[in-house]
């Protein structure tokens, strides 16, 4: 029997503690072997060296809000909430920040706002998502249409390798020659360089991609930093991040565009993108039907008869210029839209966007007979193919008796789809798995990626050979083996381990039983977005 790790922080193997970490956001329920909470980076180093020596897999976890299932697993869950050793440091003159990995995005932006700065990417989980987590998934959000994903804003990371070495990776700087770096240079880099043309040809031509290791970004920059961003903790554990920040624009205006048909979607998006919006969101008819009973009169009027609604934000420092820009954009969209509403104040803009936030509490509050499952929830296709993709998903789901709700980041071609299966219906799990397979094939046909911003986790890892081909997945394995030769960091994430995608679910007849009070506590977290809740509080 393996002895416990020599760490100062808690290490628990009792069922209640393990059960409290059996779920995160997403579809899975997997009771881990143990739970460890390193008290700081020194403790994390000791834990990783113990894991390497005992060949014990570690499942790394921030807030547990990632949807791909990379935050649950059979090994030792590593709760990284203790990685807070230094205060947030903002350099307003240089527009940079340094913060530990357990700091949330909201905390960073709250402090940056004191200097009229922000980190532009804005995942909807910002209240609880940790900086280590958003780097590890290359997260994005509504503003990615203008500001991109977090990759372009990361200047450097500090991490602990699978060997237990501390390493700093910074843009444009050669890293220290620790064993992980030396193995990569020797065992992986020559193969990647030789396959450069194949890599460029295989990677999707989408505006966003958080699937697989970012071999294309590494080829462009030469920085190992670009492999660690989006690696979901499989190549090392991020302990701190150095960021570029941006100035907060002084003014904001918004438009709500009702499209009578998805046939005009690509044309409307092209018109909007020419104005460099800071956000451009899609609300599909399925979304509008879900929220119909909760819409105020003006939003209900806009939704009536629309196949989709686009929400647009424009930002700048000159109120008059923005007002003129919104008027010109509304005029340009008029031939394509059934209705265009504009808001020229921050308060009115927020009112137009209320419709976007209406779905989350409805989806979270569904009765136990019907659950919202994030299975095909992160597909991204070329913008010109979004209408085709949305209609395919609707038809394929309807053919299998599954309801869907679709919304997403229109300007990036990125569509989130929640499945709403009836749990009393026999065989629904098989229909969900078949739909995932069918939709993945369509994403590949359209030149897309199964993950625009949430990462692969263990949900999408088995799909990657279909997306990239066996040759590119073999290169992913080379990268993984170089950084983590014993496979202790998040096994089964990104690099598949043979497990099925739709299995070991948190709901349905096959769900592993948990102590009833802990199961209720995890459900409450899911319903309320309470991912900042310390999970051991459920056990104790």
Q: Give pLDDT tens digits for 138-173.
A: 999 999 999 999 999 999 999 999 999 999 999 999
In whole angstroms, what is the distance from residue 475 CA to residue 189 CA? 10
Determine contact, residues 63/531, Cβ cutoff 8 Å: yes
Cα–Cα distances in Å, from 431 out to 55, 197, 424? 37, 38, 13
Could you write out the three-class secondary structure of 273-312? Answer: HCCCCCEEEEEEHHHHHHHHHHCCHHHHHHHCCCCEEEEE
In whole angstroms, what is the distance from residue 81 CA to residue 101 CA? 8
- Residue 392 tokens read as 């395919």
Residues 6+ apart with CB under 8 A from 189: none
Domains 11-81+504-532 and 89-246 in one fold: no
In whole angstroms, what is the distance from residue 330 CA to residue 150 CA? 30
Residues 6+ apart with CB under 8 A from 95: 117, 244, 245, 246, 247
In whole angstroms, what is the distance from residue 422 CA to residue 524 CA? 20
The candidate with the shortest Cα–Cα distance to 139, out of 131, 287, 269, 17, is 131
Determine contact, residues 124/63, Cβ cutoff 8 Å: no
What pLDDT is attached to residue 1? 54
Determine contact, residues 215/203, Cβ cutoff 8 Å: yes
**Helix segments in 407-504, DSSP class H:** 428-445, 457-460, 464-468, 470-483
The candidate with the shortest Cα–Cα distance to 76, out of 159, 27, 17, is 17
**Pick among 3.20.20.70, 3.30.70.2740, 3.40.50.1100, 3.30.930.10: CATH of 367-458:** 3.30.70.2740
pLDDT digits (tens, 9 = 90+) for 264-300: 999 999 999 999 999 999 999 999 998 888 888 888 8
Determine contact, residues 191/183, Cβ cutoff 8 Å: no
Determine contact, residues 462/500, Cβ cutoff 8 Å: yes
Show me where the domains of the chain are located: 11-81+504-532, 89-246, 249-362, 367-458
- Residue 58 tokens read as 């570690």
In whole angstroms, what is the distance from residue 165 CA to residue 176 CA? 10
- Domain 249-362, what fold? Alpha-Beta Plaits (3.30.70)
**Pick among 3.30.43.10, 3.55.50.30, 3.30.110.40, 3.30.465.10: CATH of 11-81+504-532:** 3.30.43.10
Q: Considering the domain delimited by 89-246, tell me its CATH architecture.
A: 2-Layer Sandwich (3.30)
**Helix segments in 265-413, DSSP class H:** 265-273, 285-291, 297-303, 319-333, 346-357, 359-364, 386-399
In whole angstroms, what is the distance from residue 539 CA to residue 19 CA? 8
- Residue 367 tokens read as 């009765």
In whole angstroms, what is the distance from residue 416 CA to residue 406 CA? 6
Determine contact, residues 144/206, Cβ cutoff 8 Å: no
Determine contact, residues 457/67, Cβ cutoff 8 Å: yes
Determine contact, residues 488/48, Cβ cutoff 8 Å: yes
What pLDDT is attached to residue 499? 82
Determine contact, residues 371/299, Cβ cutoff 8 Å: no
Give every residue of the chain whose pLDDT is below 70, as ranges.
1
The number of angstroms, rounded, from the C-alpha of 407 to the middle of its chain's C-alpha atoms is: 15
The candidate with the shortest Cα–Cα distance to 275, out of 246, 309, 314, 311, is 314
What pLDDT is attached to residue 251? 93
């Amino acid at each position: 029997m393996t002895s416990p790790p020599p760490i100062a922080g808690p290490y628990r193997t009792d069922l209640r503690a393990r059960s409290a970490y059996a779920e995160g956001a997403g579809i899975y329920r997997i009771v881990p072997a143990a739970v460890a909470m390193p008290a700081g980076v020194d403790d994390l180093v000791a834990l990783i060296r113990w894991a390497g020596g005992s060949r014990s897999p570690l499942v790394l976890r921030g807030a547990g809000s990632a949807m791909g299932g990379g935050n649950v697993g059979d090994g030792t869950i590593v709760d990284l909430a203790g990685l807070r050793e230094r205060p947030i440091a903002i350099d307003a003159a240089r527009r940079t920040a340094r913060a530990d990995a357990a700091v949330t995005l909201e905390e960073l932006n709250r402090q940056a706002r004191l200097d009229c700065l922000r980190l532009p990417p804005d995942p909807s989980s910002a209240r609880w998502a940790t900086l280590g987590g958003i780097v590890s998934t290359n997260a994005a959000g509504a503003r990615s249409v203008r500001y991109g994903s977090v990759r372009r804003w990361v200047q450097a990371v500090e991490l602990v390798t699978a060997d237990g070495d501390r390493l700093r990776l910074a843009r444009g700087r050669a890293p220290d020659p620790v064993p992980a770096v030396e193995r990569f240079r020797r065992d992986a880099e020559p193969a990647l360089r030789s396959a450069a043309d194949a890599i460029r040809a295989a990677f999707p031509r989408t505006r966003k991609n958080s699937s697989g290791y970012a071999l294309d970004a590494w080829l462009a920059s030469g920085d190992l930093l670009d492999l660690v961003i989006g690696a979901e903790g499989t190549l090392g554990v991020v302990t701190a991040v150095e960021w570029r920040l941006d100035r907060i624009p002084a003014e904001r205006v918004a438009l709500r565009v009702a499209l009578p048909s998805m046939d005009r979607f690509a044309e409307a998006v092209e018109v909007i993108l020419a104005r460099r919006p800071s956000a451009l969101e899609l609300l599909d008819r399925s979304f509008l039907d879900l929220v119909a009973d909760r819409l105020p009169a003006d939003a209900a009027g806009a939704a009536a008869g629309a196949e989709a609604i686009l929400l647009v934000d424009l930002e700048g420092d000159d109120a008059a210029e923005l007002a003129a820009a919104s008027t010109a954009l509304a005029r340009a969209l008029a031939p394509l839209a059934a209705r265009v509403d504009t808001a020229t104040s921050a308060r009115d803009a927020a009112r137009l966007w209320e419709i976007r936030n209406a779905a989350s509490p409805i989806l979270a509050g569904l009765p136990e007979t019907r659950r919202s499952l994030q299975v095909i929830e992160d597909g991204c296709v070329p913008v010109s193919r979004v209408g085709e993709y949305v209609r395919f998903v609707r038809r394929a789901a309807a053919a299998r008796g599954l309801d869907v709700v679709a919304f997403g980041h229109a300007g990036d071609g990125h569509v989130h789809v929640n499945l709403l299966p009836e749990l009393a219906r026999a065989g629904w799990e098989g229909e969900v798995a078949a739909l995932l397979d069918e939709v993945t094939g369509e994403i590949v046909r359209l030149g897309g990626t199964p993950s625009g911003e949430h990462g692969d986790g263990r949900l999408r890892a088995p799909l990657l050979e279909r997306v990239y081909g066996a040759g590119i997945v073999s290169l992913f394995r080379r990268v993984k083996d170089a950084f983590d030769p014993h496979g202790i960091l998040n096994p089964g994430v990104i690099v598949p381990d043979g497990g099925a995608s739709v299995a070991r679910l948190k709901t349905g007849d096959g769900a592993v039983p948990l102590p009833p009070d802990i199961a209720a506590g995890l459900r409450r977290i899911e319903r309320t977005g309470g991912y900042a809740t310390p999970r051991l509080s459920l056990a104790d």
